[in-house]
C-alpha cells in the first residue's frame, strides 16, 4: 500500500501548477506531456459515478479523480476498459464500494501498487443484507463468498457522509500538503448531504405508503431511510434476467403496484410485456447515475432525481 506516497508528497508541494517546481522537471513535463496540467496533483481513481462524485467534491480545487466506469455504462457485470485500467494503474489511491458492487475491480485492485479504500468497510457505513424471501429472492443460489451485503450503500445520505469522512482521512494522509482543502471540502459536503437528507425526507413523506415495483434491487438503503413501500424487483439480480416463474410472480404483484420503475440499462421488450395491460404507472429511475453528467453535483442530481421521479409517479392519480 501507498508505495508511491513519496511522489504524492513531492507533487503536493506545488499543488497549484508548475510554479516553484525545479526548472528541469518543468521542462521535461512540458516536453513529454504537452502542458503542465497532466501531471498536476494527486492521482485518484473512483469506481462508479456516485463514488466519483463524492471524491470530486472532496478534491475540489486540488485535483480531479478519474472515473473507471464511464457515463452510459452499467456497473454490474462491467468489464474494465484499457483506458480505465491505465488510470487505475496510475492511481495513488482507488475509492470503490467493494466486491459486492464492483466485482470487476477485485482482481485489478489486488495487483495495485497504490492504496485502495473499500468504502463499504469505512467507519460509520451502515450495511444491509441482500434481500431474501418472496419476490426479492434470487432464483439461483449466490456463490459462497461470506455474508451477502447489498452494495448500493450510497443511496442513504448518512452512508455518503461516512464515505466522505473516509475519503477525507485517506487523502489527507496521502497528500498532507492539501489536507486543509480536503477537510474544508469534506465539511461543506457533509452539510450539503445533511440538507439533502432533510429535503428528500420531506419530499418523499407524502408517498411513503404507496406500493411500487423496481427493476433491480438497488433501492434498499433509500427505502429504509425514507420509509418507502417497495413490493419487489423484476430482475432477481442485476446480471440475471427474470425467468418465467419470476415473471409470473411479478405479474401477480402488479395489481397492487401504483408504479413500476424501469432503469437506463434494462430489457425494454421484457419490461413492456410485463407491464402491458396493467394500471400501474411507469417511470425511469437511475440509481447508479448512468445517464448523469459525472462530477461533484452528480450525487445530488442522482438522489433528487430518484425522489422526484418516485414522488411524481406515486402521487399521480390512476
- Residue ranges that bind Zn ion, judged by CB under 5 A: 218, 238
Residue with cell 485518484: 44
* 3-state SS class at 8: helix
Q: How far is the CB of 182 from Zn ion (least distance, A)?
A: 28
Q: How far is the CB of 16 from Zn ion (least distance, A)?
A: 38
Strand order in the sheet with 44-46: 66-67, 44-46, 93-96, 115-118
Q: CB-wise, 214 or 218, nearer to Zn ion?
A: 218
Q: Which helix (H) or strand (E) holds 94?
A: strand 93-96
44 CB-near residues (< 8 Å, 6+ apart):
55, 59, 63, 65, 66, 91, 92, 93, 94, 95, 171
Q: How far is the CB of 151 from Zn ion (least distance, A)?
A: 7
Q: CB-wise, 204 or 218, nearer to Zn ion?
A: 218
Q: CB-wise, 91 or 218, nearer to Zn ion?
A: 218
Q: How far is the CB of 237 from Zn ion (least distance, A)?
A: 9
Q: CB-wise, 44 or 155, nearer to Zn ion?
A: 155
Comparing every residue's Cβ against Zn ion, the nearest one is: 218
Q: Cα dist. 3→7, 43, 84, 173 in Å?
A: 9, 13, 20, 13
Q: How far is the CB of 252 from Zn ion (least distance, A)?
A: 24
Q: How far is the CB of 263 from Zn ion (least distance, A)?
A: 8
Burial (CB count within 10 angstroms: exposed 0-12, middle 13-18, buried 19+), residue 201: middle
Q: CB-wise, 49 or 204, nearer to Zn ion?
A: 49
What are residue 259's DSSP bridge partners?
A: 212, 281
Burial (CB count within 10 angstroms: exposed 0-12, middle 13-18, buried 19+), residue 266: middle
Q: CB-wise, 59 or 307, nearer to Zn ion?
A: 307
Amino acid at each position: 500500500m501507498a508505495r508511491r506516497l513519496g511522489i504524492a508528497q513531492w507533487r503536493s508541494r506545488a499543488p497549484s501548477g508548475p510554479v516553484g517546481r525545479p526548472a528541469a522537471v518543468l521542462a521535461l513535463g512540458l516536453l513529454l506531456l504537452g502542458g503542465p496540467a497532466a501531471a498536476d496533483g494527486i492521482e485518484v481513481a473512483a469506481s462508479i459515478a456516485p463514488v466519483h462524485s463524492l471524491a470530486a467534491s472532496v478534491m475540489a480545487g486540488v485535483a480531479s479523480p478519474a472515473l473507471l466506469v464511464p457515463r452510459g455504462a452499467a456497473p454490474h457485470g462491467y468489464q474494465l476498459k484499457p483506458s480505465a485500467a491505465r488510470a487505475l494503474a496510475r492511481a495513488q489511491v482507488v475509492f470503490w464500494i467493494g466486491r459486492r458492487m464492483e466485482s470487476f475491480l477485485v482482481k485489478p485492485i489486488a495487483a495495485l501498487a497504490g492504496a485502495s479504500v473499500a468504502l463499504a468497510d469505512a467507519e460509520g457505513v451502515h450495511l444491509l443484507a441482500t434481500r431474501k424471501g418472496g419476490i426479492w429472492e434470487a432464483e439461483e443460489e449466490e456463490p459462497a463468498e461470506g455474508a451477502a451485503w447489498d452494495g448500493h450503500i450510497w443511496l442513504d445520505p448518512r452512508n455518503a457522509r461516512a464515505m466522505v469522512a473516509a475519503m477525507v482521512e485517506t487523502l489527507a494522509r496521502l497528500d498532507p500538503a492539501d489536507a486543509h482543502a480536503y477537510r474544508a471540502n469534506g465539511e461543506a459536503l457533509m452539510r450539503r448531504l445533511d440538507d439533502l437528507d432533510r429535503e428528500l425526507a420531506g419530499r418523499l413523506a407524502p408517498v411513503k405508503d404507496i406500493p411500487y415495483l423496481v427493476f433491480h434491487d438497488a433501492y434498499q438503503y433509500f427505502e429504509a431511510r425514507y420509509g418507502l413501500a417497495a413490493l419487489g424487483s423484476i430482475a432477481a439480480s442485476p446480471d440475471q434476467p427474470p425467468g418465467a416463474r419470476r415473471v409470473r410472480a411479478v405479474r401477480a404483484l402488479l395489481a397492487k403496484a401504483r408504479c413500476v420503475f424501469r432503469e437506463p440499462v434494462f430489457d425494454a421488450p421484457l419490461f413492456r410485456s410485463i407491464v402491458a395491460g396493467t394500471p400501474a404507472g411507469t417511470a425511469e429511475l437511475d440509481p447508479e447515475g448512468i445517464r448523469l453528467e459525472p462530477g461533484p453535483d452528480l450525487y445530488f442530481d442522482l438522489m433528487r432525481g430518484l425522489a422526484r421521479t418516485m414522488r411524481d409517479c406515486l402521487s399521480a392519480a390512476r
